Amino acid sequence: MADEFLENNTGISFIRKKLITFRIITLKKLQNMKTLISLFSIILCLSYGKAQWVELDTGMENPPVFNDVYAITPDIVVVVGANGTILKTTDGGETWVQKPSGTTSGLGEIQFPTPDIGYITADGGTLLKTIDGGETWNVIDTESGFSLAGLSCVDENLIFISTSNNAILKTEDGGENWETIEVTLPLLSQIQFLNSDIGFLWESFGSVLSKTENGGGVWNNLTGLAAGPAHFLDEEIGFCYNGSLLKTTDGGDNFVNLGFGGAGLLFDIFVINENNVWGIIPGDLGGDPSSHGIANITSLDSENYIETIAWEHNDEIDMLSIHFSDETTGYVVGMKYNKGTIWKNGTGINTMSISENELSYNNIKIYPNPVSNKLNLVFDRPMRVDISLTDITGKQAYSITLNTNKTTINTQGFPKGAYILSVKTGDKTLTKKIIIN
C-alpha cells in the first residue's frame, strides 16, 4: 500500500516519503518483538466503545494526503499536505477553508511559535511564512537547495531546520537571512531546539538521541539511547518512546524507564505535560506497515502508569502526525483510502470511531463545505433517504425524499449563513453543519 501510494502522490515532501517507506524496514524488527510485561503497573486498554477520536469532513472531494497539523487553539487549526495544500478551521473542524500557499510543492511540517506567526517546510528548500494566523502565506527561499526535514521554531525569529544534506539551516530574523551549519546527520533527522544553544536530534525510528549545547555545531549521543521520537517540555524535562516510555529530568544526561508499553514503537509523539503523552503507532506485529493506532500514556502517581491504545482496524489508514492544543483537544492527520484525512479528539479519552460523516451501515460523502452553488451528497449504494436543510432558527429551507445513490442541492438562491443538513434513512439520521457562502 505504501509503495502504490508513493507512485501516485509525488507531492509528498521528501522526508515524508522516506518515513512511509522506512516503516516497511522497521516492521521486520516489530515482527520479532515479543509482548513485554510492564515493570510498573501499566494497563493496556483496547477501547472500542464510545468514540473519542472522530473523523472530520474536510469538505474536499479528493483531498491529498495530509502530512502535519498544528492546533493553535482548540478551534483554530491548520493542516498541510501534498500539492501545496493548506486547510484552516476556526470552528474546531466543523468547516475547513483551503488557503492559497503559492506553491504546488509537497508541504511537510508546520509550527506556530505565536498565534499569528507560523512556518511550513516545503519541497525544494523553501519555507512558507504567515503573519496573520495562517490566512495568507509567503514563500521564503532558504537558498540552500536542500530537502528540508525537521522544523524547530524557538520563537518567531529563531528557527532551525534539519536537511537531507548533512546540514542544519538557522535563521535569527524570521527567514530574512540563513546560516548553514555543517554536521553529519541521519537521513531522517528530526530536531527540537529549546533555545539558541540547546537542541536535540533523533531519527524517527529507533535511532540514537543526540544533544547539542552550542547551537548545532557539535552533537553528542546520549548514552547510546535508542530513543525513537522525542519531545522536550523545556531544557530539562523530555520524553522518548521505543518499546517503553523514557523520561529525563536533567536534559538527557539520565533517562528513567517508566515501563514497557504496548505500542512497541511510536512514529510521532506529543507531550502535553509530565503526566500526559500521546503518540502514533507505526504498524502492528501482524505485518501492516501503515499507522492506524494512537497511544496515550498517563501517570496515576510517581510509579503507576496507564497506557491506552485505540486501534482502527483498517489497513487503508495511515496516520502521520498528532498535535494537541490542550489536555483535551487534539488532532491527527494522515490518509484513508489514499485521501487526506483528519481525526479529532475533544475529550482527551483515547478511543476510535467511524467518521463524523459516516453511519455504521453506509458511507455518505457531503461536499463542498462551505458551499456556494451546489452541495453534493453521494451514498455508497442506492437508498431511500429523507433530506432536509434548516437554518439556525429552525426554519426549513429545503426538503426532499428520494431513492438514489447521489443528489445535488442547488444552494445558489439560499441566504448566506449556517444551516443544518439532515439525512435520514430507516431509523438512523445523520446531521451536519453546512455553511452557505
pLDDT digits (tens, 9 = 90+) for 120-145: 999 888 899 999 999 999 999 888 87
Which has more confidence, 114 or 384? 114
pLDDT of residue 432: 77
C-alpha cell of residue 58: 474536510
Average pLDDT value over all residues in the chain = 81
**Which residues are 268's β-sheet partners?**
280
Distance of alpha carbon 291 from alpha carbon 289, whole angstroms: 7
Report the percent of the chain where pLDDT is more than 70.
Answer: 77
Q: What is the torsional sign of CA 314, 278, 221, 39?
A: negative
C-alpha cell of residue 126: 523553501
pLDDT tens digit string along 29-39? Answer: 333 333 332 32
Q: Which of 154-158, 220-224, 407-411, 433-437 has the lowest mean pLDDT?
A: 220-224
pLDDT tens digit string along 310-332? Answer: 877 677 889 999 999 999 999 99
Residue at 403: amino acid letter: N
Distance of alpha carbon 206 from alpha carbon 226, whole angstroms: 5
- Specify the length of the chain in residues: 437
pLDDT of residue 244: 75
Contact 330, 270 (CB under 8 A): yes
pLDDT tens digit string along 326-375? Answer: 999 999 999 999 999 999 999 988 876 544 444 433 468 888 989 999 99
Q: Is the pLDDT of residue 40 over 90?
A: no
Where along the chain do its domains lie? 7-356, 359-436
Distance of alpha carbon 293 from alpha carbon 266, whole angstroms: 9
**What's the pLDDT band for 288 if we cut at 50, 70, 90?**
low
Q: Is residue 177 exposed (0-12), middle (13-18) or buried (19+ Cβ within 10 Å)?
A: exposed
Residue 180 is classified by DSSP as: E
pLDDT of residue 225: 65
Label residues 186-213 b or e (16+ Cβ within 10 Å = b).
Answer: bebbbbbbbeeebbbbbbbbebbbbbbe
Distance of alpha carbon 273 from alpha carbon 192, whole angstroms: 16
Residue whose cell numbers read 456556494:
372
Q: Which CATH class is domain 7-356?
A: mainly beta
Nearest C-alpha neighbor of 234 from the set 221, 246, 249, 247: 249
pLDDT of residue 357: 43
Name the CATH topology of 359-436: Immunoglobulin-like (2.60.40)
Mean predicted confidence (pLDDT) in 412-422: 88
Contact 195, 235 (CB under 8 A): yes
Label residues 379-395 b or e (16+ Cβ within 10 Å = b).
Answer: beeebebebbbbeeeee
Distance of alpha carbon 85 from alpha carbon 80, whole angstroms: 6
Pairing of strands 66-71, 199-203: unpaired
Nearest C-alpha neighbor of 343 from the set 275, 298, 293, 277: 293
